[in-house]
Amino acid sequence: MKYKKHVFICANQKDAPKKSCGTEHGLALVDAFKAALAERGLLKEMRAQRTSCLDACAFGPTVVVYPEGTYYGNVQLADVTEIVESDLLNNQPVGRLKLDV
């Protein structure tokens, strides 16, 4: 496997009235995760990237971390550091954000 961890951040935009991760700061989350990985020198072993729908719109903005397949919901910009530190670096999912999907 090329990357130790791979973070997919939904940036999909859907028409109202359905909730849309893209309009709920999905692209800002992509930038924040990339910056957090870069600051820690992790870009060669971990990757963060935008994706389209993760099929958890009601819980958005959503993020999924592989290879474990841990889904996170209602992720805010303030949560990025905690996800990076806890899950990506220490393999401890952030329980308060974790979705059972």
At residue 89, the pLDDT reads: 97
The partner residues of 48 in beta bridges, in order of sequence, read 7
CA distances from 22 to 11, 52, 94, 100 (A): 4, 9, 22, 21
Instruction: List pLDDT tens digits, range 45-84.
Output: 999 999 998 888 788 899 999 999 999 999 999 999 999 9
At residue 21, the pLDDT reads: 79
Q: Superfamily assignment of 5-99 in CATH? A: Glutaredoxin (3.40.30.10)
Band of pLDDT at residue 16, cut at 50, 70 and 90? low
Pairing of strands 46-51, 5-10: parallel
Ranges of each domain in the chain:
5-99
- The answer to whether 69 and 54 have CB atoms below 8 angstroms apart is no
pTM of the full structure? 0.92
At residue 15, the pLDDT reads: 74
